[in-house]
Structures are given as structure tokens and as C-alpha cells.
């Protein structure tokens, strides 16, 4: 009887496995987000120093990136990022 139960429940097990994989991928992406933003900020500063971007474009993009970092940090302090 146990074998039949396993066969009948396999679509549910498969769906749960897929949902866990998606959740793990989302958590990994969220964990890597601050490093990605920091790297982009570093590149932006180099572009400004080498003259590949204007002050206005730099300031606008820097504000967006810093706001993203602030939102990420707020989420971590509020417990939103610590879901397991």
C-alpha cells in the first residue's frame, strides 16, 4: 500500500520540491543583492573618475543604488529578509 501512496502523491511531492527550489533561488538572489549593488556603485565611481559619465548621470544613478541598499537594510532589520 505504501508504494501506491508514493505513486499517487508524487505530483504533490514534485510540486513541493519545485516550490522549495524557487524559494531557495529567491533567497540566494536576495542575499547576493547588496554585493551586486556595491559592485555597481564601485563601477559607477570609476566611470566618474575616468570621465565616462557626467556628474548629473552619476548623481542620479548613485541615488537609485543607495536607495536600493537602504531598502535592503531596512528589510533585514525588520526581519523581512530572515524568513527560513
Count of all residues that appear for the chain in the document? 84
Residue at 32 is within a domain = yes
Per-residue cell: 30: 536576495
CB neighbours of residue 62 within 10 Å: 15
Tell whether the model's pLDDT for residue 1 goes beyond 70: no
Residue at 84 is within a domain = no
Per-residue cell: 41: 556603485
Residue at 83 is within a domain = no
Place of cell 566611470: 47
List CB contacts of 65: < 8 A, sequence separation 6 or more. 37, 40, 41, 44
Model confidence pLDDT, tens digit, residues 14-68: 999 999 999 999 999 999 999 999 999 999 999 999 999 999 999 999 999 999 9
Total domain count, the chain: 1
Amino acid at each position: 500500500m505504501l508504494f501506491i501512496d508514493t505513486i499517487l502523491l508524487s505530483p504533490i511531492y514534485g510540486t513541493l520540491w519545485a516550490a522549495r527550489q524557487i524559494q531557495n533561488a529567491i533567497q540566494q538572489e536576495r542575499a547576493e543583492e547588496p554585493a551586486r549593488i556595491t559592485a555597481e556603485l564601485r563601477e559607477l565611481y570609476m566611470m566618474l573618475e575616468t570621465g565616462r559619465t557626467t556628474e548629473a548621470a552619476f548623481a542620479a544613478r548613485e541615488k537609485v543604488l543607495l536607495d536600493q541598499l537602504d531598502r535592503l537594510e531596512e528589510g533585514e532589520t525588520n526581519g523581512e529578509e530572515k524568513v527560513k
